[in-house]
Amino acid sequence: MKSLFILPLFILSSLFSFSQDVSSLVSEAIRLEDIPNETAALNKLKEVLKIQPAHIYALSKSSELCSRIGSREKNTTTRDAWFKAALAYATKAVSAAPMSDEANVSMAMVLGKSTLTKSGKEKLKNARQIKKHLDIALKTNPNSYLAWHILGRWNYEISNVSAVERAGAKIFYGGVPQGSIKNAIMYFEKSKTLQPTFILNYLSLANAYHKDGQVAKAISLLKTVQYFEVNTEDDTAHKAEALKMIKTWE
């Protein structure tokens, strides 16, 4: 009879221990990302996924980190391998939680980043899917600064696609939603309101303002980021890029 009580207590104790382990691992991953050390943060999240394979934050953040690490790679084979891993994590996240803003943002991110270096045709191939995931993310969480940023980037990239490429997309993919620089600016500004020190968003917004003929605004944004702290492994390069853009545009 005594064993009947011991077994449930053992199970509860084990579950509590696993919960504590996951919580501490996630906290450590967040700390490592903030340093920033994205590879170490990713490795810590992999430990989380060994314990809880369907942990939405761990899956989504792992996808995001793989996308960011991959986008810095110069070797196309290595870069594509990172994007493949990012897509796998995002797919699992969306499958486990279809309405999760984090999961859908991670999917939109990898679909976007993996096609940025491709032709207009390749960009358009994923355009509808990216927009679908962003719509879900923003419906779930209207304050997702990253979703607004990607939506701004989506509009910027789509606005650059030629009429010929659009015509081809209509034949092969059933057309593509319209994107515009005005909308790109609006969505980048929304992201800036929600996260005022997101350096990449400032560069994207500056590019959009420059394309719209608002050069003074663009340069002002690029000068502003020089006062921001480095929050990601990309930020030092982003700040250097901002200085180059200023010299080119002034």
Residue ranges covered by each domain of the chain: 200-250
Q: How far apart are CA 227 and CA 242, in angstroms?
A: 12
pLDDT bracket for residue 172 (50, 70, 90): very low
CB-based burial of residue 47 (10 Å sphere; 0-12 exposed, 13-18 middle, 19+ buried)?
middle
- pLDDT at site 161: 73
- pLDDT at site 194: 99
Residue 159 has pLDDT above 60, yes or no: yes
Torsion from C-alpha of 241, 243, 244, 246, nearest 10 degrees: 130
Model confidence pLDDT, tens digit, residues 102-128 = 999 999 999 999 886 566 666 777 888
Write out the two tokens for 209: 């303002």
- pLDDT at site 19: 61
> Could you tell me how far CA 7 lies from the centroid of its own chain?
44
- pLDDT at site 119: 64
- pLDDT at site 140: 98
- pLDDT at site 15: 44
Model confidence pLDDT, tens digit, residues 191-244 = 999 999 999 999 999 999 999 999 999 999 999 999 999 999 999 999 999 999
Q: How far apart are CA 63 and CA 70, in angstroms?
A: 10
Can you tell me which residue has the tokens 């449930």? 8
> Angle at the Cα of 244 (from 156 to 234), degrees rounded to 5?
70
Percent of the chain exceeding pLDDT 70 equals 82
Q: What mean pLDDT is reported for the chain?
A: 88
Is the model more confident about 93 or about 20? 93
Residue 165 has pLDDT above 80, yes or no: no
- pLDDT at site 10: 47
Residue 14 has pLDDT above 80, yes or no: no
Q: Supply the pTM of this predicted model.
A: 0.87
Torsion from C-alpha of 227, 231, 232, 237, nearest 10 degrees: 10
- pLDDT at site 120: 63
